[in-house]
Structures are given as C-alpha cells and as structure tokens.
Amino acid sequence: MVEEGGRLIAVECDCRELRTINTKLEFARIDQEFCEATISDYRIKGYYKKESAIENAMICKKSASEYVRRFDEMKKRKKGLYFHSKRAGSGKTLLVSAIGNELIRRYKAQVRFATAGELLDAIRATYSKDSELKTHQLIEAAKKVEVLIIDDLGQQTVKADTNDHLFDIFNYRIKSDVVTIFSSNCKVENLPYDYRIKSRIQRMAVPIQAPEESVRQTLAERENEEILDSLLTG
Ligand SMILES: Nc1ncnc2c1ncn2[C@@H]1O[C@H](COP(=O)(O)OP(=O)(O)OP(=O)(O)O)[C@@H](O)[C@H]1O
Ligand SMILES: [Mg+2]
C-alpha cells in the first residue's frame, strides 16, 4: 500500500509483478542446446577462417562480454545489442544465449528468450476464446520483461498483425529501463517492417555485424571427415 493524496492505494509489489511476467512468458526460454552456454564458449580460433569473419567475431565477443560487465549502465541507457549476419550458422543464437545466461548468473536478471516467430505465434494463440491468457496480458509481459532476447528477427512472413504487436512492444520498451537483444539475418534497415518499428529498433540496440561464415558448416565438415576416417580405418 502507498499513500497518494491522503488515500491508501494498493500497488503491485515488484516481486509479484516479476512473477506474473515470468509466468506469462513461461514459453520463452533459452534453447536447451544453449542453456549452459557462456561467452567463452563462443570460440574464434579454428572456428572462423576468413580474416573478416575473425575480425567480426572478435568484435562480437568483446562487445558481448563488455555489455554483460556494464549491464547496469546499459540498462539505464536503455540500450541493447543487435547482432546480424546473412549467413546461417555463424553463431548468432549461441552468442545471444550466452549473453542471456551470463546476465542471469551475474545479475539474476529477468531474461526471456524467444524467436520473433515464437513470440508472435504465442500472441496469436491468445486470440482464441479458449485461451486462458488474454492478448493484452502477454503483450504486457513482453513490454516489461527486464531482458528480452529476440532471436531471428525478420525471418518470418509478415502477417496483418505483426507490425501492430511489434510496435506496441518496442514502443513501450524504448521508454523503459529494460533492454532488448536481437539476432537477425538482416540489417535493421532491411527488416520487413514499418519504418516506425525499424527506427525504434535502431534507437534500442547497437547494431553489430556478426561473422559471415558458417561455423555450423565447418563443424559438420570436420565431424563428417572424422567419422568417414574412422569408418575407413577402424
Ligand atoms: N563462435 C562459435 N564457437 C563455438 N561454436 C559455435 C560458434 N558459432 C557457432 N557455433 C556452433 O555452430 C552451430 C550454429 O550456431 P548458431 O545456431 O548460434 O548459429 P546462427 O547464426 O544462430 O544460425 P541460424 O542463422 O541458422 O539461426 C551451433 O551448434 C553452435 O554451437
Ligand atoms: Mg540462430
């Protein structure tokens, strides 16, 4: 209860609000593959070959670890990060998951992680009259969660409601002491959304070029060679 104009009014306490947000965004968790990942798992030597990719990976790794170290300041400045590379398998999901894990471990931050598709689909699932969760309740949680990690932004087909929901969420987050971390396969200016959304993302997050080289492919080739070798020799 707080006093306002001589009257006692009830306010939701922080921890209750935190719990409500967590429950509503229960689906939005870091993938099992990356739930233990840390920034030191983001390797460079032997994983990227092109010089430009090595340089970009070094910038990604350094900015990720400095971001975690200076999280309080970044939160006050309402700034997140936007990692982008056209190339699939270049380590974007690993990197944003590792940042999320470290923010949880070091600051007990409230972190929720979803692909843009999962988030929009979860919102659409609330349209059903059988849904326990109301659309505005889920959107409210996405607006207020301390750290929202949106993976694969811009990869989904834009539907009639996409711009409205993203605008609603980002327009709130841009003004609050919360941060949003993105990964995408395109630059902000090339996202398939309205300008008013793209300009907000530009304001909310620092764009960082991720390597244009597929570690997934390199690892697969290495593994397949090893297996073929062992099949032929062993
Ligand atoms: N720098 C790295 N160090 C160690 N492993 C890496 C690195 N980059 C990628 N990987 C591994 O390669 C695989 C693909 O990485 P990840 O899923 O993060 O790529 P992505 O850029 O998100 O790809 P996509 O665009 O397909 O979503 C994962 O198994 C990941 O662990
Ligand atoms: Mg990914």
Would you place residue 1 in the very low, low, confident or very high pLDDT band (cuts 50, 70, 90)? low
Q: Which ligand is nearest to the CA of 185?
A: 1
pLDDT over threshold 80, residue 127: yes
Would you place residue 26 in the very low, low, confident or very high pLDDT band (cuts 50, 70, 90)? confident
Supply the pLDDT for residue 11: 65
Buried b (16+ CB within 10 A) or exposed e, 53-85: bbebbeebbebbbebbeebeebbeebbbbbbbb
Average confidence (pLDDT) over 6-26: 77
Cα of 157 vs centre of ligand 1, distance in Å, is 23
Q: Which atom of ligand 1 is nearest to the CA of 90?
A: 21
pLDDT (tens digit, 9 = 90+) per residue, 44-103? 999 999 999 999 999 999 999 999 999 999 999 999 999 999 999 999 999 999 999 999
- Assign a CATH topology to domain 13-233: Rossmann fold (3.40.50)
**CA atoms of 70 and 166, how far apart (whole Å):** 27
Which residue out of 45, 113, 215 has the highest number of ligand 1 atoms within 8 Å of its CB and is therefore the one to mutate?
215
Q: Whose CA is closest to atom 13 on ligand 1?
A: 216
How is 123-171 classified by DSSP, letter by letter?
HHHTTSTT-SS-HHHHHHHHHH-SEEEEEEET-SPP-TTHHHHHHHHHH
